[in-house]
Structure formats: structure tokens, C-alpha cells
Structure 1
Amino acid sequence: MTDRWLLLDIGGVLELVDDRGRPGTFAARWAPVLGMTEGEFTERLAVADLPDATRRTGVAELYWSRVGQALGASPDQLASMRADFWDDYCGVLNQELVASLARLRATVGLAVLSNSGDGAREEEERRYRFSELFDPICYSHEIGATKPGRAAFEVALDRMDAAPGSVLFIDDVPQNVEGARAVGIRSHLHSDNATTLEAIGRFLQ
């Protein structure tokens, strides 16, 4: 049993992505391709009958089929849109942070708790092989709970077999950091690698 754990978010921490700006830039790229305004693109998706892919597995095909129907996309357009979505979603690996974590592997447990969409595990594993470094990996669409809700953190603690006080949680979203603290987990709001690595160093002293 590992005495201490680092529990990390993926998007914005392990991956360099702009989660807040992604929906807007995605609409800006694809609305002209489909012959509509960004506002129309966004509105059509907002009223589409999409399954909850953030807390359910096995719904990816239905989800994208309904996206295609809502936007009037051809099969080829939908396939390109879907691939573009995942490229954007997965961003670029935060190589400095991941390399630093790999050097700590012998001294601390490494785990992931990520709000996600159905298909994220496959896409991120293909690109970055997170399972070679992190165990457990708790995706919201697989555990049926999202941050900052208490249930998501409780699932992660159970799978790590860890007490809250033995864990440092790292996320780039303030609400998620507060959610972890409400469960008794020490937390750090990630803004850059230098301050995050300093926080990890203090935790491991």
C-alpha cells in the first residue's frame, strides 16, 4: 500500500489545452465548413438530444451520430469533425511535468481523476500511454461522477486505497480544488509547472 499519492487532473495539467476556449474555437472552425454562423452552430448543439457522455460509457457513437444530425453534417464531415475534436481535446503532452512525475514513481503513488467524455481513455492512451505511469485512472464517464462533486473524489480515494490526508490533488480549475478540500484532500491549483513542482516537493518532505 502506497503511503502518499499525487492525484492529478489531465486537461490543463498533464495536457496543455485550452478547455475554456475550445468550444468557441471548435465552432469557429466548423461553422463555415457546414455553411452556418458560429451562433447557429452553437445553438443547434445546445438543443440537440445528446446523451450524457461525461458520466456514461458506451454512448460515443450515439453522441456523434446526433451531433451529425443536429448540424446536417455528411459522414465524411462528421468523421473529420470528430477527429479534430479529439486532437483539440487531447492537446499537447505537458512533457516537463510528466517527466518529473515519472522520476517520482518509486516514492509516491500516481493517479488521475479527470472529467472526461466517452472515448477519452482510448484517445489519450493512444497518444500518451498514461496507463504506463498512472494507476488508477478515474475518468468521469467511467465512474459516473464528475468533479467537483464529492462522489468523484470518494471513488478516487477508494481506488487508491488512500486516506484523504495522504493525497495531494492537482487541478487547474478552482472549483475542483475546493471540492477536493471539502473531502479533506490537500490540493494545489495548477497554473504553471514550476509552482506545481514546488507544491509536490513540499508535500513529499
Structure 2
Amino acid sequence: MSTDRSIVLFDLFGVIARHQRPGALEMMAARCQAPTEAFTTAYWACRPPYDAGRQSAPEYWTAVLRRLSPSMSVDADTIEELRLTDIDSWSRVDDRMVAYTQSLRDVAEVALLSNIPSDHADAFLAAQPWLHNLDHVAFSGKIKAAKPSPTAFHHCVVAMRAAPADFLFVDDREENVRAARATGMNGHVFTDRDELAAVIDAWLPTRRPTWK
């Protein structure tokens, strides 16, 4: 079922925003006096509950540090330094993609669904005012559900009072696009802006009724 609306639902990192700043993991590992490989493993292994809003930043960073070494000293200053470095490492956007998403609002509704911890989301919203112009913004740490969980996509459907078929979901991770399609959304694996623009240009006319 469709309500004949056109909603382009964007992922954030790897599509509109840049992936993590190069060298950031090495910097944080050095702060912990840990090998980069071990730190990177702990950083990502502990991430899912933080992304999904089931852990606070101090709880996440304590888990990372304890995974590196159960006897490692964990203090509030170290955690805050790591937290701020981490937020900064995910703060870059692709200005051309930001402009493109804004231009789409002339022909479609535009929304966002991103896996991002709650405190990161607060920082991003403060630094990127264009986010407030979108029709809906869903951050995993705020909605308590992270992609590829169907719950994350269902949140957007309910929040926008739409049908799954009204959405074209755009993400750079194929597993997330597969999950969106499984809920009834349309999906596109992002590679670059020009290819995406062609896909959207082809999709939008199918959303318009033909009057005779």
C-alpha cells in the first residue's frame, strides 16, 4: 500500500556526512596507551548498545577500556576526552550532498535515519542547522533502535504517517538497504551523488498519478 507520497530517506555517514576522520582511532588508541588494532576492535565491538541508546557515553567508554584491560584505570577526564575526540571524528559533512538534499525538498519530502549515539546526535544537530529543515530526523540513539533492525525503519513510517512504499531509502551499506526493502521500502545503495540523482529522477515520476 502507498499513499502516493515521495519520501527520500537518507543515511547520514557515508552519504551526506563523511566517514570517521582518518587517524582518529589511532589518536584515541594512543590516549589509552593501547595498540591501534586492539583499540579498534574494542571500539566497534562495544558500539551497538551505545548506537541504539541503551548505553550512555560513560558506560560505553568504560566498556571499551575494560575490554582493552580489565585492570585499566577509568577516570572521568579520560572518558570525556575520548568522547569529545570521537564526536569530532564524525563531524565532517559533504557540502555538495548537503546542498543536494536541500534541493530535493522542492520535489519530495526528505528525511534522515542514522546510526549515531544520542550525545553525538546532539552535537550534530547543534553544528548542522540544515538538519532542522528536513521533514523528519531519526537518530538511533534517540529512537532506541539502530539499522538494520526493522524497528528503526518502522519508526520512520509511523512518525511520518506514511506507508513503507512511499520511501526511497539511501544508504552506503548494502545490508541496511536490504533491511529497508524487507520492510516494504524502496532502496538504493549509495556510491556517488550523480548516480543517486539519476535514480531519484527516475523514481520520482513513478510517484505521480497520471491524469487523463
The bucket for the TM-score relative to the shorter chain is: 0.7 to 0.9
TM-score (norm 1): 0.81
SS in 2 for 1:98: helix
Offset from partner CA, 1:114-170 (integer Å, 9 cap, x none) = 112121221111221243222311111222222112221111111111112221110
Partners of 1:113 and 1:149 in 2: CA distance: 12
Kept in 1, the 8 Å contact 2:9–2:112? The answer is: yes
SS in 1 for 2:9: strand
1:38 to 14, 17, 36: 36
- Worse overlay, 184-193 or 73-82: 73-82
User: Relative to structure 2, which stretch is displaced further, 103-112 or 1-10?
Assistant: 1-10
The CA RMSD over aligned residues, in Å, is 2.9
Aligned-pair CA distance for 1:111: 0.7
| Among candidates 42, 52, 56, match of residue 55 of structure 1 | 52
Question: Any idea what the Cα deviations from partners look like across 1:2-31, whole Å, max 9, x if unmatched?
Answer: 82111000111110114xx97xx5442233
Q: 1:33 to 1:54 in 2, by over 3 A?
A: closer
Structure 2: 5+ residue runs without aligned partners?
206-212
Change (3 A) 1:43 1:54: closer
One-letter identity of the residue aligned with 1:87 = D
Within 5 Å, which residues of 2 pair with 1:48-197? 52-56=49-53, 59-64=56-61, 67=64, 72=73, 75-90=76-91, 92-197=92-197
Name the CA distance, whole Å, in 2 between partners of 1:31 and 1:61: 17
Q: Distance in 1 between matches of 2:180 and 2:136?
A: 17
Q: Give the whole-Å Cα distance in 2 for the aligned partners of 1:44 and 1:36.
A: 11
Alignment coverage as a number of residue pairs: 199
User: Contact conserved, 1:57 with 1:142, CA < 8 A, in 2?
Assistant: no
Shift of 1:63: 3.2
Once the two structures are superposed, residues 80-109 of structure 1 have per-residue CA deviations (whole angstroms, 9 ceiling, x without a partner) of 32221011123x212112212212213211
Whether the 8 Å contact between 1:2 and 1:108 is mirrored in structure 2 is no
Report the Cα distance in structure 2 between the residues aligned to 1:72 and 1:45, rounded to whole angstroms.
17
Distance in 1 (alpha carbons) for counterparts of 2:44 and 2:131: 34
Listed one character per residue, the Cα deviations across residues 161-183 of structure 1 (whole Å, up to 9, x for unaligned) are: 11122211100000001111111
Kept in 2, the 8 Å contact 1:51–1:59? The answer is: no
- AA partner of residue 82 (structure 1): R
TM-score, scaled relative to structure 2: 0.79
